[in-house]
Each structure stands twice: as structure tokens, then as C-alpha cells.
Amino acid sequence: MSDEPEEHEGAPEGVQAKARMTVVIAALVTRLDGTVEDLGVIDSGEPDTSSQPAAPEE
């Protein structure tokens, strides 16, 4: 999937046809000896547009 919002045919220029949701997961691991490991972002999903309604037909 592209990072850019999709535009559908027939929509006014610049109008985004689909909303998007982006999931970001970060983690901090604490070891038995007390050491804390900041893993930062361990996964970041692409913008999720797959469940949005299809563009209306012309």
C-alpha cells in the first residue's frame, strides 16, 4: 500500500477518497537484572485503507 491517500476518479481534485488508520507499536523490555531495553517502534503498519468503501461509480 502507498503512504499517500488514494484519490478516486470523479472526486474533486485534492479530495481524499479514503480515510486511513496507521498502527504503530513500540516496546520497552525489562530484564530480570533491571536492565531496560528500549526497542522503540517494533512495527509500524502501512496506512490501512482496505476496509474503506469503494469509490462510487461514475
Give the cell for residue 7: 484519490
Neighbour-count burial for 23-46, b at 16+ CB within 10 Å, e otherwise: eeeeeeeeeeeeeeeeeeeeeeee
Q: Does 3 bind another protein (CB under 8 A)?
A: no
Binding marks (x or -) toward another protein, 12..51, rule CB under 8 A?
Answer: -------xxxxxxxxxxxxxx------x--xxxxx-x-xx
Nearer to another protein, 2 or 51 (CB): 51
Give the cell for residue 55: 469509490
Interface ranges with another protein (CB under 8 A): 19-32, 39, 42-46, 48, 50-51
